[in-house]
Structure 1
Amino acid sequence: MCATEPVFVTQPSTMINHVIDAKLTTQSLTFRPGNPVTFGVMAINRSDRFAAFELQILAATGDREFNWYRLSPEVSAAKPPGDRTQFQVEILDSPIPNFIGDINITIIISSPQLATERRLVLHLTVEPAEEASLLSVSLPTQRLQVYPRNTIDIPIEVQNLGLRSAEIALYLKDIDLTWLIGTGERRLRLEAGQSTKVTFQCCPPGASQVLSNDYPFTIVATDTQGATASATGILEVLPVGFVQFEVQPSQQRLPAKSSHLLNWLSNIAVFQLHFYNASNLLQQVAIEMRGKDCQSCQIQVDPETANLSLGKETLISLSVQVKRPWIGRVKNLQLEAKARLSDRRLGSTEPATQFLILRVLPIVPTWLLLVLLALLSALLAVVLNPGAISHFDTVNAVRFSGTSGLSTLVLSGADDCTIRSWTREPSWNFTKPEMLSPNGTLTEGSLNTGCKNSKPQSLKSPKGLLAVLGQAVRVLELIPKNNDLVFAGLENGELQAWDVNSRRKLYSLKDGEDKTNDRVLSLAFAENSRSLYSSYGSGLIRKWQISPTSGGQSSTNPQRFPDRFKFPVWAIALSKDEKVLIGAGSYKSLIYWDLSTPESPVPTQISLSSNKFEFGNQTDQDYFLSIEFAPNSPSLATADSDGFITLWNLQKCQRIKSYYPENSGSQLPQMKCEISEQWLASPQKQAIRNIKFTPDGRQLVSAGDDGRIVAWKINDKNHAPKVVTTIPDTKITSIDLIADNQRILICSGAEDFKVRLHTLEQR
């Protein structure tokens, strides 16, 4: 037999914007307790975008917390324009407890993508139940939330509606009884008309043993006279944990070193991608390959989509096939394997991207070709500037260091878990800046520390190494006093202090309450070198008391700023008078911390709207990546993921009515600050990752994903750029600058693993 399609009834719309159309299968229903009834709702996407729909059902004067209906599905998938979504609503109980009569039910159809809603009205007639129970059982809260291994109380209210006392037995059913602390049964005696509260304690097991899901349960009450009453609720186990992503090994060569002569022609390398699901979410993972070298390879992922079981490791085989030349140079192909999870409630994998290197050798190497290349390289080294200095992974931070009066150094930190130091040397070409060369050798005895518990390639050439830290270096900051201590912020949330001159580690800083390896994203020192502020991927900001001497001890108890935001704090900046700390991150959020009372910093969110500019709705893919206070003015410069640079006048701010975008962070007081200047710094609207003011404050230097380093003159209405350099096909991740006579020296680090030196003539 064929299923009968539901007939939907259209109600007239009072909406001005008809992007959501909706219909009901009926205009009125009759309900009697104990006999559920259903009706259908159809939502139609009349917009020009993909959209998902949600339903909210309200009863006039009803208790919104009372679980009187069931909705399927709870949230629809996003569908294209013109497509429709059908919802089924089952009425389980009277919307108003113990009510008999007529009720108007309002059905609200909304869409997060369309920012509008549609309302329909259903007439519901509630008739009395056939038999009235002498017992009443209710749950003050129908939906309870708990994390794995946490204890939660399930409160129940029981009432004897009879005219005599009763012996009552309570049972907790439909839930795993091993989760209960104690038994799933309670016995009590209630006098006529008396009510009481009873509690069951529940503790779900660890994340690897219980899924994040809704677990319905039932409370049943019976007395010796045969009266029965029940109430249902939902215990929601919240998501927790992470998915770890590793590649072992991440670097291979063709042919492999152990290949026999018969395998010399091999042109396929296989990488093993390791995933460990340490969360309580059943995940599916797909691999997306990126990088400019992907186009020259044939890549196969097996399986294309893998299921990640709880608490288990899953392997994905990544085969890379390349065409090897008969004679030529060795090629280092750089590939990026990005993992995409099906359930993003816990974010992405850790890390989200793995960088793979495939070293491709020619089939027929010739000694003559090698000699000629060596001679040519030697000639080019004499005639031209040498190539940029290289790490073995993405360079995340560069800093100039005066090192207590010694010659100026360039310090760089990278994902290869090292800090390197470089000195300037004269260039053979006097029209170009000095070149960089490795400075010194790592202190003997420190080479046993490796990256992720294995020695990195950097250790094969220790010249120029200042430190090997065991974790990817996210940020570097030099102590203002003497400029001889460098603090490195690491991927696992640790801060390490190293003496630049002796190349020895002095101590480390790690919050004793950080159990999740909260990565460090930004650092800011107070001018007296005694206080250090740090921001993290979890949204925390911490303040550390620093010992500037080598006798400092490791710290585990920093001052934690009171609000944890729901986005990573990508950058922080401390004002010159040290009374204001600005934090910036996802949703293009700016948080203004008033440090007038250091023990109780007060946060305020800066609104992104002004009379001159309108940023619009922001998502978690919109960031402020770099912020900088101007040296001689109250201006704050920001650089964002859309390629814009904005100057804010923090002396012209006023409080406004608070508005909190969904998932945008903490609910904070809002203020609007005047935007004095704004311009598009990247014509392709690519992210600007770093900005720095020149010491005189007359220019601002920017660098980002378009591979350009550009100087901008402040208070220039035309915002004409002066391009310092362009590095094709790479992203510049960090810059620093110092004044040098009549010019500005700029050092840069990039995703192509290189550290470079540039010159900007003063203008």
Structure 2
Amino acid sequence: MIASSTIDASLTTQSLTFRPGETPVSFGVSVMNRSDQFASFQLEILAAGANDQTGWYHLSPEVSTAKSTGDRTDFQVKILDSPIPDFVGTVNLMVRVSSPQLPEERRLVLRLTLEPRIESNHLRLGLPIQHLQVYPRNTIDIPVTIKNVGSQPTEVLLQCKELQASWLVGGAERRLEIAAQSETTTTFQCQPAGADQVPSQNYPFIITAQNREGHTLETQGVLEVLPVGFMQFEAQPQRQRIPAKRPWLPNFRSPQATFQLMFQNTSNLLQTVDLEVRGQDAQRCQTQVDPEQAVLPLGEITNVDLTLSPRRPWIGWSQKLKFEVKPWLSDPRLGSCDPATQTLLLKVFPIIPLWLLLAFFAMLAAIIFRPTPVTHLAGVNAVQLSGTSGRLPLVLSAADDCSIRSWGISSWGTLEPEGASNKGASTQTCTEKQPRSGKGLFALTKQAIRALALVPVNNNQVFAGLENGSIQAWDINEGKPLYTLRDPTDETSDRILDLTFTRNALTLYSGYGSGKIRRWQRTRDVRFSNQPKVFSLPDRFAYQVWSLALSPDEKTLASAGQFKRLVLWDVAKSQPRQLLAEPAQNRGENDFFWDATFAPQAPILAASDSDGYITLWDMSRCTNLPKSKETAAGLLPQQSCTQQSRWQAAETSVRQIQFTPDQRWLVSAGDDGQITAWPITSTMTLDSTRKPKRIAILPNRVTSLDLIANEQGMWVASGSEDTQVRFHRFNPQ
């Protein structure tokens, strides 16, 4: 045959005897390659009458490696179990030898004798009910049957496993004595814990039985804990509003409201919840749920945030929105939540409150129909703030419109015109325009007013310096003009730029555009003499005197102005010395020291200039330059004083400066419209450790400034070229 010429196979034995349950038996198969090519071989064992041809034997190797002609492969077959369950007798085993490389195969037959199985375990274990059901905290019996089929009595240990030991009443073990050829039934009593500890689900368990010989049987069952309880549903709060607080002002930052939904799981079902927002108004807003799908643990309260974001109208009436929230549970065996839905109410206010809209229209109407405000008709040149006159509080202002106006400080902290035109005052203005109102019009002159000065201490008289060089005086309390001062030797109508009094009010100094300074004297309670003493410089040193300042001891008069010239006058000797100010650049006809002032209680002179700088000098540390050098250079007598501080307060001219009475601040104002308080140290230098304070930022150039102290801090009055007089509060703390 062709098969015998290519595959040669033989068995190590022709018959075997095997008893299931004992030691496995084996036989060998020898296969030789008789072909003229390389070939690998494999075996298959078939048992006559067996349904399942696998699992009852083991083959080694499972497949041989490729062999050359004449090479042999030895297979070992081990019988593990009966190929036909419960069969006793002889069965033929066919050994089929094949090769993937060869078309032929070889078959061999072995006779296998199967002997009866030796039974070592005589126990039979069963569960009459394999699926049991119970509610939490209820008791149920798990019946177990066990049978001894042996000829001898035996002792059996029963155990209930996989269930929690605390559920088993009386323990998880039973010991039984079972007679030969008899059957008995016992029970394990089971009581699950409460609903908040035992989720509703299937709990598999195992019953095992073990005899004295150590043989063990087991059977399985299922204990189903049934669902019980309910899901409580609340919403806190049920009413909300947007914005949350009463909307007195426009509110753009409250576009949403969040409701807290509370779920208390008093059941034994592990749940997740989805929320549905229903109702006609649900389409008018966006909803957000956090968390989107909440897990509801047993016996706990779980919070879910529902955020509603409606579209808020800009104007109009408030809107009332109504929503219905329906929760959907993942396990509906116990029905829906209790209650099934919650109703939420949301009141939405417009972004602009109605009252504010009405107030806007009312304000608009007031602006359209309001009376013309009382102001000067030209730029303001001087302001004086009086705190001691009979008409306190009082602010006096003077301007290029040839008028002096009086202002009272209202409870709102604003200036209001106070009083009417003074009797005997001129009713003609020096401009083409006429005053819109006589309210607060203290006086009219025929010349523009450049300077104002209040009599110190009593503040009961005001002196005005006019464009034509005259000084006019008025009684503030009686509201009448007193007299006019004018140097009879002045034929140039020299305009007055500044006025200043000594503390005893017996001496008045006036500074002029020509560079002259006049000193007016009087005795107590008598008007000033019309024969002033004139302080003047040689014509080649003439300059416009924009500011006058008396030292605290009133022995030195400082005059500042054009060409950045700062002259110190010895009052007793009428002798001038020019203060050397550094740096020396920018001293042309358009460069100015606009203002100079002494500290109230220290020999410190401060000056502000057209380059935006403020400079402080210590007048107690000054030295005079030798006269020989001054004469040789054709200069004014020179004096050099220690410079305490110098800083740039603005990019443009600083026109007014003034120390506060406690010397802790220096207040400045100028062309940039800013009124600023600069901190000063106890050694009278700029305090770099403290920040300056911005008192006000005005839209136009500030031309005049005055301040007084009171219990609330500082009152500051300012005048500017936009015809406005303003009042400011400054807290130096």
TM-score (norm 1): 0.45
TM-score (norm 2): 0.47
